[in-house]
Structure 1
Amino acid sequence: MPTVIDSLAERHRRPASGGSRALVLSTRSVPPRQSLDFWHDAVLATLVGMDIATDGPTYDAALRTDHLGSLRITMVEGDPGRVHRSPRLIARGDGRDILVALQSSGRAHVEQDGRTTELRAGDIGFFETVRPFRATFPERFQLKIFTVPRELLGRSEADMRRLTARAVRPSGGLPALLTPMLERLADTSEAYTTPVAERLADAAVDLIAATAAARLGEDSAGRPGADRVLLMRIKTFIRWHLSDSGLTPRAVAQAHGISVRYLHRLFEAEDTTVSRWIRELRLYECRRELRAPAAEPVSLSRVARRWGFTGAARFSRAFRGTFGMSPTEWLDRERASRRTGEAPCRPDR
């Protein structure tokens, strides 16, 4: 009976269809003696840098990675092994996103922030990429990993320290909704057109954020439930109206029948401000659109206005202030990396 890796390996040998967003990488596409080095490079290019150890000199694994709106989805299947996100790799700056991993099959023993736990089939785990973590896979496994931009999840570093290395089991409540949704989303990601994909990604991020909030609410430090729900509604509203240049804190507050002061207090609990959160979302969307292959030259001004910036100059100042380079410099590096076949330049990672 063919396995997932068999199908991935076969797809790696076939030309991708013209409309496909997915990238498929398999160790079966290289000589066995090169398989482990190939896998190191594949994981670095699609997730983050990790040290990978196995019991033998070769490794049988494959992955499929796809972008669905604001999410990057990576489905991984591999032999038993061990991974370590070490301080040495973190120092290279190749990861500031949150990894939300769904254990589809097999088991994983994970360790981060002084805790260890076992992920079983159906469980979900949160991984923080700016701090070390380890995972051991004692048997053949399949993972579906959702890379979530930190600004979309809206959790502080202190919150994330309470979420990592804790198994979110689908026994009831929000996890019982989240697990099957993520499972199906990963399996069918290529079937959706871009507008549908973006809406599904927004819904998935909202459900992931709600699940994280519920987990944090189990501790006494969690915010009151009404505030969490309201904040989720506000963030969803902001995402849907991101292209509106009139999306100000006052407009957001009026749309939800609350005072601007109360709105600011909600975002203070996230270690950010309303305006900064809106600006970071807009920059993320602009960067995502600029990165996508285009048949015609990209107009920075048009992209900036499409996502709510009032002009190219304001967009460029915000981009440089956040990423340390102008949009033009970043775009030139992206294009150069595509020509040379290197991993894309990610100034925020």
Structure 2
Amino acid sequence: MPILAVQMRRFFLAAATLAVALPHVAAAQTIDNVVTRPVGGDAEPLKKGRPAEGAQPSSGLGVLDRMGAKLPDLPPEKNYHGPVDDAYGAYQRGYYLTAMQLALPRAQLGDPSAQTLVAEMQYAGLGVRRDLKSSAFWYGKAAEGGDAAAMFKYALMLMAGEIVQRDKAKADDYMKKAADSGNSSAQFNWAQILTSDHPGQEGLKLALPYYEKSAEQGIADAQYAVAELYSTLPDLPEEKRRRTREWMARAARAGFDTAQVDLAVWLVNGQNGPRDFVRGFEWMQLAANRGNVVAQNKLAHLYIYALGTKPDPVEAAKWYVLSRRAGLPDPELEDFFLGIEDDQQKAGIDRANKFRRLP
């Protein structure tokens, strides 16, 4: 039985540990794939820093109107008729002492699910004193018993080599078994391992099925990886190619800011689908307000050239100042900033000083 949201979120730590040379995916927070200076004559609008041929200034937009539409109702929950696990029920309700009292005897008798629960509570110090070594012992026992969540967590411990002795071969074995058992975090991490151990397209093709399985279960990093690979890998079936933008949008809607930036660029440049300046602006604005430096830089360009919004030199100055302060220089935006009126510069700086990123 999985360990709830606490366990499922831990893949983010693993993803940071397992960053590999997957084009655009492993370097998700870099800015290398977003060019701000003019390049060749056939460059796309955001790469060139100027509007597309025939583009007209927008008359304005309503972000809430476009992005705040009511979502469809959730499907009704299905009645559960399987066995009830009282230990996990107590854990879910926050009764950690009760959960430990119920789970420990079962763990000592060799129940992998109970062993995983004991390990999780000891690892996090829930209801008991935090004990990493004892937690590792129980994760190891549960992994031996085939519990997918335990295999994933124990594999991370074996990779890190801090609580238990480092053992890459054993870690890889458990990570693959957890991935093949359906653990979405393990699927993402096993895909990362494959790309690391098999550089180039061979590793990407081996990893893609695991990224896809993880993406289907809602892991935003995996959804982003699938979108990037669908966009770049050759010889993919056309039905997959058609879903490229859909996967990027799912990662963006999940709050993955790099996906929001890339989706905005795709929409403005007409990549992997038709152009939509307004929606591109909306996604770029969202990522910028949440502190993404590349988005802040790009948003300045959109305000200058009225792509998806009305032209606004003060807002353009604000976003340029914020991105420059964060360490992203842009000679073209610097030329723009020095060319506007003094009062516009001051207003832009004042707005940048008052900026507070959204959560």
Q: TM-score, normalised by structure 1?
A: 0.28
Higher helix share: 2
Larger radius of gyration: 2
Q: TM-score, normalised by structure 2?
A: 0.28
